[in-house]
A and B are shown apart, each in its own frame.
Chain A
Amino acid sequence: MKKKVLLAPLDPVHDVGLKMIRRGLRDAGHETVLLAPDLAAGEIIQAAFRHGVDIILVSRTLGYGVAEILAGFIDLADAAGLRDSVRIAVGGMAVTRELAAELGFDGGFGPGTTVEEATAFVEGREFLPAAERAVKSKRDLTAGYSYRFRHAKIARLLEGVVDGYLAWMDGKTSPGAARAALRDEFWQVEPWLAGARQDAFYRRYPEYCGGLAREYWATGKLHPKTRVLTGRERETMENQVRDIRIQAPQLQHARPGPAVLTQYGTGCPLMDVAHIKVVEAWGADGVVHFDPSWGARTEGLMEGFLTHQEDGTVITPENLHRIKQSLEPSTIWQVRAHRGLNTAETVVLAGKLGAELTKINIAYGALGGGTDPARLAVDAYHAVRYAAKYNLAFDVVTNEELCGVPAYKAFAGMLITAAIALRLGARPILQPLFCYSPEVMISGQMEDNYVNYNLAKVRVLREIIEAPVWPGAPIGFLTHTEDRVQSAVTTALHAMLAASLDVDAVTIASSDEAYAGGPITAASRVDTLRATREAFRFLGRAAIQPGNLAEFWQHRLLAGIEQVLEDVLAAGGFVNAMYQGMLGSREDGAYPGRAGTGTVRERDREADGSC
């Protein structure tokens, strides 16, 4: 029902809030009368009688004497008999709900009040914040992409590289591939949860393990920096998580994206769950499981609800399952598999336990992640097949840039993995780093700004293929310092650039990412989520205009990628090229990894039934 509302600034000068509310009320069909600032209480009450209003909204910005002034106003309104027919609310920077209630106002609005909230008061209905009304839904980062190659020459070169790789791959297997096949065929979640034995899996699994994992399966001995969490710890956490109600804000202001993901991996799944609930409450759209560095070099996985004293949470079925159970329905969950001896099995486990995303890159894992190129080339083949089978999209990270590999070489490696994925029916997501890499430190591409080169990276990928892009990881890598403000700002600015480029997702750091003296804290995660939200608000649907050099870098990157792919073919294919340095040389800072060297076997000798 239409109302007549008197808007009265009980303040010497400030009336902006009331003007905003006037616009909202008019849009909602109500009639408004806005008084000038600095009127006495008696003048406002006279105006209310004169205009015959239904409601008075009084505002007060200045804090001095606020209680006395508002009390005087409400007393006078009482004495004048106004309150029999008129509802009165007060709002403004100097007002709290408690103060308004104490003084006898019908409504009170403090700082941060929205026009919608004031409109709800005028209309006499309950105000439902936007966060409560909006049900956040889970995003599919690959939806709508055709994966069509736009650059014919690069498409042709990649086709040749993939043909050669698949021919090389034919008949090869590894202990990692064998474990993944066992996990895929003989280990099922429901029987595992019910405590069924699943002998077909557990009887054979240890024979494909090595080192720590083999010892674990033989003797029960854990990694020295881990312990088993107690049932009581687990149950208490589950109970506490059940009591948490999250109304997650939408970080993106005016655009549909990018989705914002944060990494967890404190070492302890209980602390991880606590951090996850914090970042969900502050608007993160997804979380990324970060495992210990030794996990990638261990031949086989362990089991148990394990906590770890250092960075990275151990990948076990129990840890992943508990973490998954704690997630909000809208939260995207990524379990990284990309760089080690458990790549294929991790994909299977992640798929069975309900992840939406994983992470695979052969070139990075082999040249910057420490795994033997041939071994990872074999395991990643199976990993990609399983990713397709379990409907896991995966990003193809280019972290070898952080070792010093130039972006064009890293991109060539990323595109090869992506092309393999497409041939095997999977959904890759391109992950260029938004980073201040050793290459740019030395060569000066970012001497003036961080915009041109990062933007050129995204544009060149789009020039080559229509595929989702997810800069990472985290954005702004190596621009962060231990300074909380600087770190949050650089994250926010990189997020703004990513939004301006309409990418599909970003992974952001915490504001203490660069601090080496201890674990990341929850409050520091909130810092960058808040900063990112503010950056999205600042940008809206506007765009960042690059400088002239962006186009120059884009051409240079494209030419470099073409040349590398030609070199890969000339070197006799993808795997040879990794050993020979075409995708990152020792001079660049990339070294073929050694973990798993000599473990690739011909399948007919193993009969392992790999995927």
Chain B
Amino acid sequence: MTGLDNKARVGPREEEEQVSEAMERILDAVDIETFILCGSEAEGRKLALQLARDLGLQDAGIVFLEFSGPGARVRVRAYVHRPGDRYAWLKPA
């Protein structure tokens, strides 16, 4: 709920911490919209969920998938904070 700090990127460990902080600042969910080359809707679904797992996203589902021709237009969603969770962005100053 406040602006992100502009930290200098000085090394892999700090980078990892920044990624973690970025995830913490996500209000509710991450949506990934992309086009996946695939041969069927079922394959598109499988690959879309695989993508979320490969990116380390938990609690993922497919909001929308439309297969036609060469592949699928897809919107994958991973909830980072669901209502009622203890929100990482809710931190005392």
Residue ID in chain B nearest A313 by CB atoms = B83
Q: How far is the CB of B39 from chain A (nearest CB, A)?
A: 22
Smallest CB separation, A418 vs chain B (Å): 34
Say if the beta carbon of A266 comes within 8 Å of chain B: yes
* A241/B1 in contact, CB under 8 A: yes
**Which residues of A sit under 8 angstroms from B87, Cβ to Cβ?**
270-271
Chain A residue nearest in CB terms to B27? A522
B2 within 8 A of A: yes
Chain A residues with Cβ below 8 Å from B66 are: 483
With known contacts A236-B91, A267-B83, A521–B1 Cβ distance under 8 A? no
Interface size class on chain B is 20 to 34
Q: Does A244 contact B (CB under 8 A)?
A: yes
With a cutoff of 8 Å between Cβ atoms, the chain B residues found around residue A271 in the complex are 28, 81, 83-84, 87
Enumerate chain B residues within 8 angstroms of A517, measured Cβ to Cβ: 61-63, 77
Contacting A at CB under 8 A, from B1-31, are 1-2, 27-29, 31
CB distance from A476 to the nearest CB of B (A): 17
A307 in contact (CB, < 8 A): yes
- Residue A125, interface by CB 8 Å: no
Q: In the complex, what distance in Å separates the CA atom of A434 from the CA atom of B90?
A: 38
| Residues of chain A lying within 8 A (CB to CB) of residue B53 | none
> What's the minimum C-beta distance from B34 to chain A, rounded to whole angstroms?
13
Point out the residues of chain B lying under 8 angstroms from A309, CB to CB: 82-84
List A contacts of B84 (CB < 8 A): 227, 267-268, 271, 307-309
Known contacts A237-B90, A241-B1, A518-B82; A484 and B75 CB within 8 A of each other: yes
Q: Are B90 and A270 in touch, CB under 8 angstroms? A: yes
Residue of A nearest to B86 (CB): A233
Q: How far is the CB of A237 from chain B (nearest CB, A)?
A: 6
CA distance A483 to B65 in the complex (A): 8
B1 touches A519 (CB 8 A): no
Provided the pairs A236-B91, A307-B83 are in contact, do residues A274 and B27 lie with their beta carbons within 8 angstroms?
Answer: yes
Complex interface: chain B residues within 8 A of A484 (CB): 33, 63-64, 75
Partner of A239, one of B77, B79, B82, B93: B93
Q: Does A512 contact B (CB under 8 A)?
A: yes
- Tell me which residues across on chain A come within 8 A of B93, comparing CB atoms: 236, 239
B79 to chain A minimum Cβ distance, whole angstroms, is: 6
Does B92 count as interface, using CB distance less than 8 angstroms? yes
**A152-167 contacts to B (CB < 8 Å):** none
**A521 touching B31, Cβ below 8 Å:** yes
Given contacts A308-B84, A521-B31, contact A482 B64 (CB under 8 A): yes
A271 to B86, CA, bound (A): 10
Given contacts A518-B77, A521-B29, A522-B28, A308 and B61 within 8 Å (CB-CB): no
**Residue in B62, B75, B77, B90 whose beta carbon sits within 8 Å of that of A236 in the complex:** B90
Contact across chains for B79 and A518 when beta carbons are under 8 A apart: yes
Q: Contact check, B31 vs A519: say whether CB atoms are below 8 A apart.
A: no
Residue in B33, B62, B83, B90 whose CB lies within 8 Å of A308? B83
- Picked from A243, A267, A523, the residue with its CB within 8 Å of the CB of B1 is A243
Question: Which residue in chain A gives the minimum CB-CB distance to B62?
Answer: A517
Report B85 CB to chain A, min CB distance, Å: 8
A515 within 8 A of B: yes
A267: chain B residues within 8 A (beta carbon): 83-84
Can you list 7 residue pairs at the A/B interface with Cβ under 8 Å? A236-B90, A309-B82, A512-B77, A517-B61, A518-B82, A519-B79, A521-B31
Residue numbers of A with Cβ under 8 A of B are 227, 232-233, 235-237, 239-241, 243-244, 266-268, 270-271, 274-275, 277-278, 307-309, 481-484, 512, 515, 517-519, 521-523
Leading 7 A-B pairs by shortest Cβ distance: A268-B83, A266-B83, A482-B64, A240-B1, A267-B83, A271-B83, A517-B61
For the A-B complex with A227-B84, A236-B90, A271-B83 known, give 20 more contacts whose Cβ atoms are closer than 8 Å. Answer: A235-B92, A236-B91, A237-B90, A239-B92, A240-B90, A270-B90, A274-B28, A275-B27, A307-B84, A309-B82, A309-B84, A482-B75, A483-B75, A515-B63, A515-B64, A518-B29, A518-B61, A519-B82, A521-B27, A523-B31
Q: What residues of chain B have their CB less than 8 Å away from a CB belonging to chain A?
A: 1-2, 27-29, 31, 33, 61-64, 66, 75, 77, 79, 81-84, 86-87, 90-93
